[in-house]
């Protein structure tokens, strides 16, 4: 069902991502690294989980948010658990098809104590000759612990393994996956899949079909108002539809605003936690873009007017790059705009 608020796991529950799904599955078949980019709440996790469930091979799904390594030792333990669990599963079932979810309650596997190094376990597993796919959701969170170095090792030293990297902090994920020459993954062949926001017509189609699936009568103005608020973020449309079915249109809008404000505030606070004196400038940029999209020069002038001070071009550039990397803003052509249309719920209320 389209309005089920949890990430989708079946093809029939995913709306309008046929092309992206085909690209993802083709990439898994042909490449050793697949990178899935998508801003927050645009359907990235649903696409990854659906691919994970549809694949008939040995596979693992790691949601980094559910395990959150604190250091390199934790990262080592995470990868070791992943490959040990797959090895254990293969030995128990004597089959080449099976999946695990590392760090979640559904793992359900007891992994024996193993004195081997993680790369030894991975290489031994690869020598079994079975196709293996490792999904890592929000992979960019592992960058600071050197996970890209280990993935580079897997790329160079395994034949049957594909790593699928997904992340909502698009710029950081691009760095992690080898965009820069000094990255351990630089120069490795990879498939890149980009999930975009829905066009307004597709948003309307999604909402209509969602109501039809549940046989709920609705008014066209409901859809128009929801799109005006939410724009092309399918995650917020799912939440709106879920609440509208049970509470009606007006309460659904109120609930979405309230929950969105809480979630986005937490995301922005985490981003700003180490920005020091630059915090107000970052917030000012978001406030300016809440009014309208702007080009580089107009936005800089607007920011200087708002903060009552001149800002060096290099410093202004770094502000924009950081916001882009973390997915709070987008650059479309020569203009910048908010990554999520509900960000003003937080920035307009913040002093």
Whole-number average pLDDT of the chain: 91
- Of the candidates 106, 13, 5, 108, the residue with the CA atom closest to the CA atom of residue 54: 13
- pTM for the structure as a whole: 0.90
Cα distance between residue 271 and residue 136, in whole Å: 22
Tokens of 50: 């659906």
Tokens of 155: 């790329």
Which has more pLDDT, 26 or 69?
26
- pLDDT, average across residues 288-303: 96
Lowest mean pLDDT: which of 101-105, 162-166, 310-314? 101-105
Residue-wise DSSP of 14-64: --S-HHHHHHHHHHHHH-SEEEEEE-TTSSHHHHHHHHHHH--SEEEEEEH
Residue-wise DSSP of 227-280: HHHHTT-HHHHHHHHHHHHHH-HHHHHHHHHHHHHHHHHHHHHHHHTT-GGGHH
Please say whether the dihedral angle defined by the alpha carbons of residues 220, 226, 229 and 233, taken in this order, is positive or negative: negative
**pLDDT band for position 113 (cuts 50, 70, 90):** low
The answer on pLDDT for 317 being more than 50 is yes
Measured CA to CA in angstroms, residue 85 lies from 16, 64, 79, 127, 181 at distances of 34, 17, 10, 16, 34
Rounded (5°) CA angle 261-195-335: 70
The answer on pLDDT for 128 being more than 60 is yes
**pLDDT band for position 114 (cuts 50, 70, 90):** low
Per residue in 57-102, pLDDT (tens digit) is 999 999 998 888 889 988 998 999 899 989 888 887 666 677 888 7
Please say whether the dihedral angle defined by the alpha carbons of residues 80, 83, 87 and 89, taken in this order, is positive or negative: positive
Cα distance between residue 137 and residue 349, in whole Å: 31
Beta-carbon contacts of residue 12 (< 8 Å; ≥ 6 apart): none
List, in order of start, the domains of the chain with CATH numbers: 11-195 (3.40.50.300), 200-269 (1.10.8.60), 274-347 (1.10.10.10)
- Of the candidates 113, 106, 123, the residue with the CA atom closest to the CA atom of residue 53: 106
Beta-carbon contacts of residue 341 (< 8 Å; ≥ 6 apart): 229, 230, 231, 233
- Of the candidates 130, 146, 139, 3, the residue with the CA atom closest to the CA atom of residue 65: 139
**pLDDT band for position 111 (cuts 50, 70, 90):** very low
Tokens of 226: 């929801």
Per residue in 162-218, pLDDT (tens digit) is 999 999 999 999 999 988 888 899 999 999 999 999 999 999 999 999 999 999 999
**pLDDT band for position 350 (cuts 50, 70, 90):** low
- pLDDT, average across residues 317-329: 96
pLDDT at 97: 72
**pLDDT band for position 107 (cuts 50, 70, 90):** very low
pLDDT at 109: 40
pLDDT at 162: 97
Tokens of 185: 């993954």
């Amino acid at each position: 069902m389209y309005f089920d608020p949890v990430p989708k796991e079946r093809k029939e529950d995913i709306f309008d991502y046929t092309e992206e799904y085909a690209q993802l599955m083709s990439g898994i078949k042909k490449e050793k690294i697949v990178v899935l980019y998508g801003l927050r709440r645009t359907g990235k996790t649903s696409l990854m989980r659906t691919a994970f469930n549809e694949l008939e091979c040995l596979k693992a799904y790691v949601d980094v948010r559910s395990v959150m390594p604190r250091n390199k030792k934790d990262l080592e333990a995470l990868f070791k658990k992943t490959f040990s669990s797959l090895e254990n599963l293969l030995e128990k079932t004597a089959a080449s098809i099976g999946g695990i979810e590392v760090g979640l309650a559904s793992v359900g596997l007891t992994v024996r104590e193993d004195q081997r190094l993680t790369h030894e376990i991975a290489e031994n597993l690869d020598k079994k000759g079975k196709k293996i796919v490792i999904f890592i959701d929000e992979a960019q969170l592992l960058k600071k612990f050197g996970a890209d170095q280990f993935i580079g090792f897997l790329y160079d030293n395994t034949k049957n393994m594909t790593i699928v990297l997904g992340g909502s902090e698009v710029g950081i994920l691009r760095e992690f996956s080898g965009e820069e020459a000094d990255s351990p993954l630089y120069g490795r062949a990879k498939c890149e899949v980009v999930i975009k926001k829905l066009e307004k017509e597709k948003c309307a189609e999604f909402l209509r079909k969602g109501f039809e699936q549940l046989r709920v009568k609705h008014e066209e103005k409901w859809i128009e108002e929801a799109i005006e608020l939410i724009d092309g973020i399918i995650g917020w449309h799912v939440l709106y539809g879920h609440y509208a079915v049970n509470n009606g249109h007006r309460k659904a809008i109120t609930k979405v605003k309230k929950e969105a404000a809480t979630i986005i505030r937490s995301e922005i606070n985490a981003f700003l936690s180490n920005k020091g004196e630059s915090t107000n400038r970052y917030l000012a940029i978001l406030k300016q873009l809440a009014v309208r999209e702007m080009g580089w020069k107009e936005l800089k002038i607007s920011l200087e007017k708002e903060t009552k001070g001149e800002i060096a071009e290099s410093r202004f550039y770094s502000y924009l790059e950081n916001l882009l990397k973390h997915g709070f803003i987008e650059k479309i052509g020569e203009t910048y705009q908010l990554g999520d249309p509900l960000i003003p719920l937080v920035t307009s209320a913040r002093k």
